[in-house]
Chains A and B, each alone.
Chain A
Amino acid sequence: MLVPTLEHYLLIAAVIFSIGIFGVLFRRNAITLFMSIELMLNAVNLTFIAFSKYRADLDGHVFSFFIMAVAAAEAAVGLALIIHIFRHFRRVDVDDVSELKF
C-alpha cells in the first residue's frame, strides 16, 4: 500500500482531472478556465505515462507527446480568442460570450 504502484499514479491523475473539471465548470474567468483545461490534459498525460511504464511499452509516451503538441496549439488559439473577447467586452468573463447558446 505504501510503495507507489500503478494505482497510486492513476488515483492522483484522477483527482487532478476532477480538479480540472471543477475549474472548467465553476470558474468564469476565461484564463483560469483554460488553465484548468491544461490541468486536465496533464492528468491524462500522467495516466498514459504510468500505464506506459507498467506495460514496458513506449506508445504511451508518444501519445502524451502528441497531447502536448495539441495543448500548445490549443493554448495559442484559445489565448488569441481571449484577446478578441477582451477587446469586445473589456473583460474576460465567459458568461458574456453566450451569443451561440440555445
Chain B
Amino acid sequence: MSPETILFYVFAFGALVTSGCVVFMRNPLMSALALIVDFFFFAGLYVLLSAHFMAVIQILVYGGAIMVLFMFIIMLLNLKDHELEQVKITSVHQVLAVVAAASFCGMVAFQISGMFDHEAIQKARAEHVQNMKDANDPHLFRPAIQSKVGHLAADFSEDALQKSYHAQLSRIDAGDYTDLDAKFPRDQRVKPKLPPVFKGLDHRGSPLPKLGQSSKATKINFGTAESVSVLLVNRFVIPFELTAILLLAAIVGAVIIAKKRL
C-alpha cells in the first residue's frame, strides 16, 4: 500500500469523524474546534489531489479567518449551558430531517458506488493509461477532455497529471484551441494568451535569470499558486473582480446589520 493510499484513508476517516462531531456536539465551541480540525483534514485531501494552492488557501481562509470569526462570536455570545439545545429528536420536523439527510446520502452514495466497477469507466481508464505510455511527445498527448465517457478521465498519477497539464499548455501556446473549444463552445472568439513567463521570458520579452537548476522556462505545474493565478487573471478575470465587490458589500452589510444604531 503506497503512502498516498494510507494518507487518503487517514484524512478521509478524520474528515468524516470530525464532520460528525461538528453536527452532534451540543456546545458550539466544541463544534467550532472540530470544524477547524476538519478543515485541516480537507486541506490534506486537497494536497493528495495535487491542489497545493487550494490547500494553503483552505487553511488560511477557512481555518484562519472564518473560524476565528466563528470563535469570536461564540465567545462574545457566551451561551450558558441551560441555553444550549439538547441534541435529540423532540419533534416530527427533526425526524423528517433525519429521513431527508439519510435518503439524500443513500441516493447519492448508491449512484457513486455504481461507478466503482462500471465497465465503460474502467475501459476508458485503461485506454488512457495506455495512451500515456504511448505518447511521450507532449503535442501528441491528448488529455482527459477528449475522453468519451462523460468527460471522466483516467486515473492520474502525479507524473501523468503534470504531463497532461503541460501538454494542454503547449497546445494553447502553439495556437491549438481544440480542448478549450470543446469545453467552452461559445467562447471561440476569445482566445486565452499565456503570459510570457511560461516561455521563460519577462514582460519585455527578454529571458528571465535562471535560479539554480530549475528555470522558469520549464512549464509551471498543475495546482500551484502560479497556474491557478494565471487562470484567475486571464479567463476568470471578471468574476475575480466581482468577488472584490461582493466582499466589499459583505463588509458593509455586516457592519450595518451588527451595529446597534447607525
Contact residues of A with B, CB < 8 Å?
A: 1-12, 14-23, 25-29, 31-32, 34-36, 38-39, 42, 45-46, 49-50, 52-59, 61-62, 64-66, 68-77, 79-84, 86-87, 91-93
Given known pairs A8-B12, A18-B104, A91-B79, the reply for A57 and B145 (CB within 8 Å) is yes
* Chain A at the B interface: SS class: helix
- Complex Cα distance, B232 from A71, in Å, reads 18
- Complex Cα distance, B54 from A95, in Å, reads 36
Which residues of chain B from 28 to 50 have a CB within 8 Å of any chain A CB? 28, 31-32, 35, 38-39, 42, 45-46, 48-50
Asked whether, in the complex, the Cβ of A8 is within 8 Å of the Cβ of B23, the reply is: no
- Complex Cα distance, B23 from A72, in Å, reads 20
Task: State the Cβ distance, A51 to closest chain B Cβ, in Å.
Answer: 9
Asked whether, in the complex, the Cβ of A22 is within 8 Å of the Cβ of B97, the reply is: yes
- Complex Cα distance, B8 from A8, in Å, reads 9
Asked whether, in the complex, the Cβ of B85 is within 8 Å of the Cβ of A93, the reply is: yes
- Complex Cα distance, B143 from A55, in Å, reads 7
Number of interface residues of B (CB under 8 A): 96
**15 pairs, CB–CB < 8 Å, chain A vs chain B:** A4-B4, A12-B16, A18-B101, A18-B105, A21-B101, A21-B104, A25-B100, A39-B22, A45-B42, A49-B51, A72-B250, A75-B66, A79-B69, A80-B258, A93-B85
* Chain B at the A interface: SS class: helix
Asked whether, in the complex, the Cβ of A73 is within 8 Å of the Cβ of B246, the reply is: yes
Contact residues of B with A, CB < 8 Å?
A: 1-2, 4-5, 8-9, 12, 15-16, 19-20, 22-23, 25, 28, 31-32, 35, 38-39, 42, 45-46, 48-51, 53-54, 57-58, 61-62, 65-66, 69-70, 73-74, 76-77, 79, 83-85, 87, 93-94, 96-98, 100-102, 104-105, 108-109, 112-113, 115-116, 143-145, 151-156, 161, 164-165, 168, 183, 222-223, 227-228, 231-232, 236, 239, 243, 246-247, 249-251, 253-255, 257-258, 260
Pick the contact of A2: B5, B23, B58, B231 (CB < 8 A).
Answer: B5
Asked whether, in the complex, the Cβ of A11 is within 8 Å of the Cβ of B113, the reply is: yes
Report chain A residues within 8 Å CB of B57.
Answer: 65, 68
Report chain A residues within 8 Å CB of B79.
Answer: 91-92
Report chain A residues within 8 Å CB of B54.
Answer: 45, 49, 61, 64-65
Report chain B residues within 8 Å CB of A53.
Answer: 49-51, 156, 161, 222-223
Given known pairs A46-B42, A46-B45, A73-B250, the reply for A58 and B222 (CB within 8 Å) is yes
Asked whether, in the complex, the Cβ of B116 is within 8 Å of the Cβ of A7, the reply is: yes
- Nearest opposing residue in chain B for A5, CB measure: B155
Asked whether, in the complex, the Cβ of B100 is within 8 Å of the Cβ of A21, the reply is: yes
Report chain B residues within 8 Å CB of A7.
Answer: 112-113, 115-116
